[in-house]
Structure 1
Amino acid sequence: MDQTSFQAEAFGELQSLVDGLFATRQVIDRLDLIMQAEVLDLDPDLLEIVNLLPPGAYERQRLCDQLNSALAAHGWGSMYGTVE
């Protein structure tokens, strides 16, 4: 099977997580992101991506850049989707 065209069942879950966290806030803390990802019981691969973030507070664009970078490094962008 061609890995580049495979979409995981968890495709788009990171986007939903980001959308939910930024619905009422301009900045989120890494710990808030990790806790929410665990509450939502994200796919283990996605939890790994979230846990790779350096500590700190993130505005939406910076967070998306960091998450997308980690997804790309693992080759998982097409499988799980990227975030905006």
Structure 2
Amino acid sequence: MLRPEEPRLAPPGIPPGAFDVLRFSAKESVYKAWFQVMGVYLDFQEAELDVGATGRFEARLLHPRTPGALRILRGRWALDDGRVLTAVSVPAD
């Protein structure tokens, strides 16, 4: 898991300049999905992100009120013509 204080090294296949934007977009997707379900905001340190080079990412949620089904959220990312696209899925009840 990549924590805020760790160096931001891009996985193979992700241009270094796009990696910071990709991480930001993935965390925003996680935060927005979380808020829709839980109705409370996450702090920056309450989500750890693992970005894979295959178009997938995983977020581990550390908020004390996180229900078991939301502890890990999985998402997808893509780079297209200079744009970064991310989406996250929330498990059904």
| TM-score of the aligned structures, taking structure 2 as reference length | 0.26
Q: Which has the higher contact order (CA 8 A, sep 6+)?
A: 1
| TM-score of the aligned structures, taking structure 1 as reference length | 0.27
| Larger Rg computed on CA atoms | 2
More strand by share: 2
